[in-house]
Amino acid sequence: MHLYKGQVQVYTGNGKGKTTAALGLAFRALGRGLKVCMIQFMKGGGPYGEHFAAERLAPDFTIIPFGRGGWVDRDNPDPEDRRLAEEALKQGAAALTSGAYDLVILDEVNGAVYFGLVPVEQVLELIHSRPDCVELVLTGRSADQRIIDVADLVTEMCEIKHYYKAGIPARVGIEK
């Protein structure tokens, strides 16, 4: 039995740390015996470190990645990118309403909306279908204002300085 009403959280902005913040929340929830599912949009270049951690924490922590490797072309997205994002949204809706999870994270869903891979209206429907007892987290840059408006908590990550600009690539165990 849940002792609280779930909320809708959004982690957005151009700074590093949106997925990492969601994973931190997942880790805290797991420590308290909650069940967590993370659906990843546009993340086909894995496996990432969190996938290995989820395997070790299964069945309490499930991560389901969707996407192809590489970048999505916002001006001309590949039909396969759109198909995978739509499938991710369906999986997210199923996880949200299944009764199996206390926390559902839609990682990079805001980016999927921004890139035109899934309509914001479908994400809003998913938010409104959320059972009261489930916490929902939506991550990714460029969150649509309509998603921000219905969220209970919005955090914007703001890049001030990033070592990528000094030529340091993504590092295993830190960024991937």
What is d(CA 168, CA 122) in angstroms, rounded to the nearest whole number? 37
Predicted pLDDT at 42: 94
Residue 2: band (very low, low, confident or very high) from pLDDT cuts 50, 70, 90: low
pLDDT band at 176 (very low <50, low <70, confident <90, very high): confident
Helix (H, G, I), strand (E, B) or coil at 57: helix
Architecture of domain 8-166: 3-Layer(aba) Sandwich (3.40)
Assess whether pLDDT exceeds 50 at residue 1.
Answer: no
pLDDT digits (tens, 9 = 90+) for 23-81: 999 999 999 999 999 999 998 887 889 999 999 999 999 999 999 988 888 889 999 99
- Cis previous bond, 59, omega within 30: yes
Neighbouring CB atoms inside 10 A of 52's CB total 13
Q: Could you report the per-residue pLDDT of 16-31, keeping only the tens digit for each? A: 999 999 999 999 999 9
Note the pTM of the prediction, 2 decimals: 0.93
> Which amino acid, residue 150?
V
pLDDT mean over 78-87: 96
Residues 113, 123 contacting (CB under 8 angstroms):
yes
Spell out the long-range contacts of 77-84 with Cβ–Cβ below 8 A and sequence spacing 24 or more. Answer: 77/115, 77/116, 77/117, 81/42, 81/115, 81/117, 82/116, 82/117, 82/118, 84/41, 84/42, 84/44, 84/117
Mean pLDDT rounded to a whole number for the chain:
94
For 107-152, how does the pLDDT look when each residue is reduced to its tens digit (9 = 90+)? 999 999 999 999 999 999 999 999 999 999 999 999 999 999 999 9
- What is the DSSP annotation of 126-150? HHHT--TT-EEEEE-SS--HHHHHH
- In a 13 Å sphere around the CA of 136, the CA atoms on its Cβ side amount to 27
pLDDT of residue 62: 98
